[in-house]
Every structure is written in structure tokens, then in C-alpha cells.
Structure 1
Amino acid sequence: MFSVATLWIPFTIVAALGQVARNAMQRSLTGALGTWGATNIRFLFGFPFSVLFFVVVLAVSGDPMPVPTSAFWPWLLLGALSQIVATGLMLLAMNDRSFVVTTAYLKTEAIQTAIFGFVFLGDHLTALKVVAILIATIGVVITALRPGGEKGFAELKPTIIGLVSAAAFALSAVGFRGAIITVSGVSFVTAASFTLVLGLFVQTAVLTVYLLARAPKILQAIFGLWKPSMLAGFMGAFASQFWFLAFALTAAANVRTLALIEVLFAQAVAYYSFKQPVSAREISGIVLIVIGVALLVAA
């Protein structure tokens, strides 16, 4: 049985599953909508679902409507804007690399989240947790390596894009956790859901205004593809709901390290959906990821 303090573990696993599904859906829409059009899908079509989740949470919990403090908004803006940049760069990287390799680059986020969390939020990690983060991240790096002429770390531009995207995702995680923990007087579920609604509102407004000004035809195309976009938006909101619940309970670095199991899910998606084989090198990396994640949970 899980106590409330350890609920972040199943929350993170569910979120990672949802995120892999959403990433695969967004990737399939990038060709038709472009990078920023596909990016906006997770926000524009995810926002209504986040509102629905929040209404249900308020009704079940009986909590009052939260009132954000002045400290809430800077953290929320850091999380929301960083995630926009991170998602766009992620999809850009996916155009040049395999699905699994891109996911591997993004998972260097765990180390960066630990650093940013310590600097900005004072989140402290035990020595065992630091070792767990390093082992799991090394496993991710090994998974991403490709020999010879295959697309691996040798290509500088996509490598930089992937790593900068990971840094932006790390800042986003820290920003959203910072916002959630400033919401007081309500349960952690309500605080997380409230933050998600406002975060997606900001992201939807920013990207929709941008597309209206710079690429209105892409915005029209998004609504023309409303059926697959709706499903991607739902999966995005679903995954984010569980990410935020996890952030409400523990340091962002713990969540993002356990989230490295996403690489395992991505391997399955790549193998069954994109017909990309799994090499012995990737298997050895996966073993390290599993060891690192096991150490983190044990710690």
C-alpha cells in the first residue's frame, strides 16, 4: 500500500505512460501542422480537459476556490513559458532523430532538474538519490548513442537542440512545483489541478496569439484536424494532471528521475509503432535506467 507521501511514485508512472502516448501523437501531426502548430495542440485541446479535471476535484474534495499569492505567478510563468519552448524544441529534434534517441536526450533533464531545484527551491537530495540520478542518466546516454553513420551524438545541432529542450523542461518542472507549493488552504490535489488549469490557459493564450499573428493558416489546419488533436490534447492534460500531482508531493528531481522509465515505454512505442529495432547497446542502457530508478524508489 502507498502512503500519501509515496503516491508520487504511481502518479509519475501513470504520467510517463500518458506522456509517451501524447508525444507519439504530436509527432504524427508535426508534418501537417509544423512544429509550433503541433506544440499548440497539447495546450489548446488540453485546456478544456484540465478545467473538467479541476471541476471534478473541487466537487469531490469540497475545497474552496484557491486564491493565488503574488509568489504564485512568477513560478507559473516560468513553468508555462519554459514548457512551450521545451515542447517546440522536442518536436524539432524529433524531425531529425529517432523517437527513442530524442526521448533519451530529453531525459538528461533529470540531472538539470536536480540542479535547478536545489538552486531555486532549495530541494535537497540524499547521496543515494544523487547516485540514482547519475546511474539512470548514464543509462539514458548509452541508450542514445549510435555507432558509425547512424544518427547519434556526433551531430552537434540536433544534440544541442535536444539538450536545451531538456534544460527548458527542467526549468518548467521546477517552475510548476514552485507554483503548486505556494497554493495554500487546500489539498495537494486541488493545488495541483488549479496550477495546471492556469498553466495551460497561459500556454494556450500565448501560442494561439502567436499563430494568429504569424501563421493563421496553421491555426485553421489545427481545427481541421480536431479529432486526432482532441485525443492528443486529452492525453497531454491527463499526463500533466499526474505530473502536477507528483510535483505537489516531492522534489521535482525525484519525479523527473523516476520518469526515466519513459525511455522504456518509448522503446516499446518505437518497436511496435515505428518498427525501430532495439540494439544490445540500448538494452544495456535500459538495464542502467532500471537500476537507477530502483535505487531512487528504494531511497
Structure 2
Amino acid sequence: MLWIPFTLFAALMQAWRNAFQKQLSQSLGATSVTLARFILAGPIAATYLWLLYRWQPQQPLPDFSVPFAGYIVGAALSQILATALMVRLFQLRNYAVGVGLAKSEAILAAVLGVFFFGTSLTLLGWLGVLLGGMAVWLLSGLHRAAGAVSPMTLLLGIGSGLAFALTSLWVREASLLLELPFPFSAAWVLLLVIGLQTLLLVGWLGLRDPASLVGLARRPGLTALVSLTSCLGSIGWFSAMSLESVALVKTLGQIEVLFTLLISAWYFRDKLARHDHLGLALIVIAAICVMWA
């Protein structure tokens, strides 16, 4: 059951990371804001792995394989794409609605996991996934904004959710391939994915838009907050997904929408509808279902 506290911690950190990314997106482009997520996360991930080996120095180093490298590259690229699409959502719609659209990830991860990754879910697990999707629809305000959501906004949201789902599934596969004890496999995958993402984005912006790097340098505090909360959240997600199926982890992680609403109201002073008790109840029921499953 250790995956449960890791997931809750990850959801809280991700909600704050999205909030800081929204602030940064007001003055910088989507690629720059995406880089902010990774630019300082590499040293944090390396320090985390180093501390693990200081704690248990007898643990072996991993043996890397070609399939493992493929999962790392796929996860790195899909997470960059997912983040860029989500940043674009922040620029188009209300913060909570944008996150709600991207949280289609849990349902997409369940479907892709069953059909393509050999994942099996019990009836209770499927019930939790579906209830979680309904809860996100209610809590994010998507049911109220359904008629006002443009096809482009819907496409960006589903695209972001699909890319995040593939990232999670490939991260879990890479972690399982290493055959290292918990949490070492997750820590290695985290460091390699973040390292590759940082190199790709710095290289791309250095060649195509060096002014964006200057823009990040001018917002060091906010950039550092995005990187820190992103890396801490990834530690939680990667650890949880090395212990439990992606669909169940991401369904429980939908409590992030509640955190998002609280941040949206308190931090951004967004105008939100009256507290939706049905949505909160569905989040709780979905969480209970996936924990029992």
C-alpha cells in the first residue's frame, strides 16, 4: 500500500507545479515553460538517487537494454509533448478547466494498459476509473463549460491526456525492466528521463529560440519553483507506478483536481462555482475503489 502516500504526495506537488506553470505561461511561450519543468530537476533527481545509494550502498547498478532505452526515449518525448499541450490549454481557458481536460489521462491509461501493455483491472478497478473520470468532469467545471469548450480546446486536452498516459505506461515498463528493488528502479528511470528531456529542450531552444532561455533566466524564482515541484511530483509518480498499475495510480491521483480547485480559489482568486459535493463524493468513492482493487 506504499503506492498510496506516494500518489497523494505526487498529486499535491503536481497541482502546485501546474499553478506555477500557469503564472510562467503569462510571459513565456509553451516550450520555455515546458523547459522550466525540467531545467533544474536533473540535479534534484541525481541527488535523490545518490542519497538512495548512500542509504543502501550494497544495491547493484542497473543493466540497461535496448528496449529499456526505447521506453526512456518514448517517455521523455511524450511527457514534453503533454506538458506543452497543457501549457497551451492554460493560455486558452480557465486553469481548472484546462487541468480537468488533461486528466482524461487516467481513463486513457486504463484502456491502453489493458489492450497494449498486458494490464488487468478488476471490475472494482474499472468502477473506480470511471467514477474518477466523472468526478473530474464535475469538479473541474467541464460539465458547466461543455457548450463553451471549442473543438481546439477539447483536442488539446485529450491530446495532453493521451501523451501523459503513454508517458506513465512507458515509465512503468522501463522501471519493471530494470529489475531493481524499490525505489531504485524508479529513481534511475526518473534521472534518465529528466536528463534526456533537459538536453533535448535546451538544445532545441538554444538553436531555435535562445531568447526563451534568457526569459527563464529572468524569472529564476518561479522557474526554480516549477522545477522543484515537478521533480518532487515525478518522484512520487514514478515510485507509485513502479509498485502499482498506472490506471489505479492515476485514478487515485485525480484528487489533484481538488487540490487544483483549492489553489485556483486561494492562489489565483479565480471565481469558482459553489462547492460540488457530488464531485467530491465521487473522488472519495473512486479512491476507495482503486485502493480495494
Q: Unaligned regions of 5+ residues in structure 2, if any?
A: none
Could you tell me the percent identity over the aligned residues? 31
Per-residue CA deviation, residues 247-268 of structure 1 (Å, 9 max, x unaligned), is 1101111111111100010010
Aligned with 1:288 (options 263, 282, 293):
282
2:258 aligned with 1:261? no
| Counterpart contact for 2:119–2:245, Cα < 8 Å | yes
Deviation at 1:283, TM superposition (A): 3.9
Q: How does 1:40-55 map to 2 (within 5 A)?
A: 40-55=35-50
> Normalising by the residue count of structure 2, what TM-score does the alignment of the two structures yield?
0.95
1:103 matches 2:99: yes
Q: Distance in 1 between matches of 2:147 and 2:56?
A: 48
Contact 1:21 1:235 in 2 (8 A): yes
- Which residue of 1 is the match for residue 84 of structure 2? 88
| Secondary structure of 1:71 counterpart | helix
How far apart are residue 275 of structure 1 and its match?
1.5
CA contact (8 A) 1:271 1:278 kept: yes
User: What do the CA deviations read for 1:124-179 (whole angstroms, capped 9, x no partner)?
Assistant: 000111011101101212333254xx686532111110111000000000011111
1:72 aligns with 2:68: yes
Cα offset, 1:230, TM superposition: 1.5
| 1:196 corresponds to which of 179, 186, 190 | 190
Per the TM alignment, residue 227 of structure 1 is displaced from its structure 2 partner at its CA by 2.4
Kindly report which structure 2 residues correspond to 1:114-153, keeping only aligned pairs within 5 A, or say none.
114-143=110-139, 144-145=141-142, 147=144
Contact residue 93 and residue 162 of structure 1 kept, 8 A: yes
Gaps (5+ residues) in structure 1? 1-5
Deviation per CA, 1:17-54: give whole Å up to 9, x if none. Answer: 01111111111111222111011011111111111111
Shift of 1:282: 4.0
Q: What letter corresponds to residue 273 of structure 1 in structure 2? A: Y
Superposed, 1:229-240 pairs within 5 Å as 229-240=223-234
TM-score normalised by length of structure 1: 0.93
Q: Is the 8 A contact 1:135 1:288 kept in 2?
A: yes
Query: Could you tell me whether the CA contact under 8 Å between 2:100 and 2:142 is conserved in 1?
Result: no
Q: How many residues align?
A: 291
Any conservation in 2 of the 1:183–1:191 contact (CA below 8 Å)? Answer: yes
AA of the residue aligned to 1:271: A
Does structure 1 retain, via aligned residues, the 8 Å contact 2:131–2:283?
A: yes
Could you say if the C-alpha distance between residues 169 and 124 of structure 1 is closer, same or farther in structure 2, counting changes exceeding 3 Å? same
CA distance in structure 2 between the partners assigned to 1:136 and 1:40 by the alignment: 30
Contact 2:137 2:143 (8 Å CA) reproduced? no
Counterpart-to-counterpart distance in 2, 1:207 and 1:282: 39
